[in-house]
Amino acid sequence: MRFHECSKAEEEAPATQTPNEATAHEGQAQGKAPKRGETLKTAAHRKPSRQLTGPTVGRGAQPALGGGTHVKERRVLETAKPTACHFCTADNSKVSYKELKGLLESKSVFLIDVREKWEIAEYGQIPGSISIPLGEIVEALQMNPQHFKERYSHDMPSKADCLVFSCLAGVRSNQALISAKTLGFSRAQHYAGGFKGWTEYESSEKK
């Protein structure tokens, strides 16, 4: 009876493998068949080549045996970050003497002198400008068009018009510009030279 039980246990037990046989099976399971002149143990420990089973990737990809694809490693060249465009960042809130004169000659500008009434009466103003003191700018630019015309004897500018402010030397005109921009007059600008700069240019051109 014992002999029969031992024989049955031996039939059910898996066969014992030698180290070389186990290594060979492991190598075959991983697809590592021994090459010519290579032992089973060496083939099992050989590092597999990198393969990518799929479509060819990039120009550096080459077809490999077994339908895979060898992929060559390539460095990614870094390019310098683009700099901001000069014209996009240029300050277009100011107009020069020549620009303002050209706009006035073409009658394509709405020029507002924000100095006080007495200043204009005493020193004069740029031809073609209308007088709206700085303290009235915010209210004036929000008036009913009819009320604006009755008060300032001029059609009210729209938010799409080319609007330019001037004063004596550019300080108050810049404040008026900020107020106009806040109210939605996106094309508003100011003449930083002011009435003082205008008269100097005019006198120099006449010489």
Q: What is the pLDDT of residues 75-108, one digit of tens each?
A: 433 333 333 333 223 458 999 999 999 999 999 9
What is the four-CA torsion angle of 102, 104, 108, 112, rounded to 10 degrees?
130
Q: In the chain, pLDDT over 90 holds for what percent of residues?
A: 53
User: Tokens for 98?
Assistant: 């020549």
Place of tokens 């300080």: 171
159 vs 57, higher pLDDT: 159
Is 6 an active-site residue? no
Q: Considering the entire predicted model, what is its pTM?
A: 0.56
Q: Where do the domains of the chain lie?
A: 43-78, 92-206
Predicted confidence band of residue 205 (pLDDT cuts 50, 70, 90): confident
Q: In the chain, pLDDT over 70 holds for what percent of residues?
A: 56
Class of domain 92-206: alpha beta
- For residue 35, is it left (φ>0), alpha (ψ between -120 and 50) or beta? beta
pLDDT digits (tens, 9 = 90+) for 140-177: 999 999 999 999 999 999 999 999 999 999 999 999 99
| 11 and 5 Cβ atoms separated by less than 8 Å | no
Q: Which of 6, 85, 88, 167 is catalytic?
A: 167
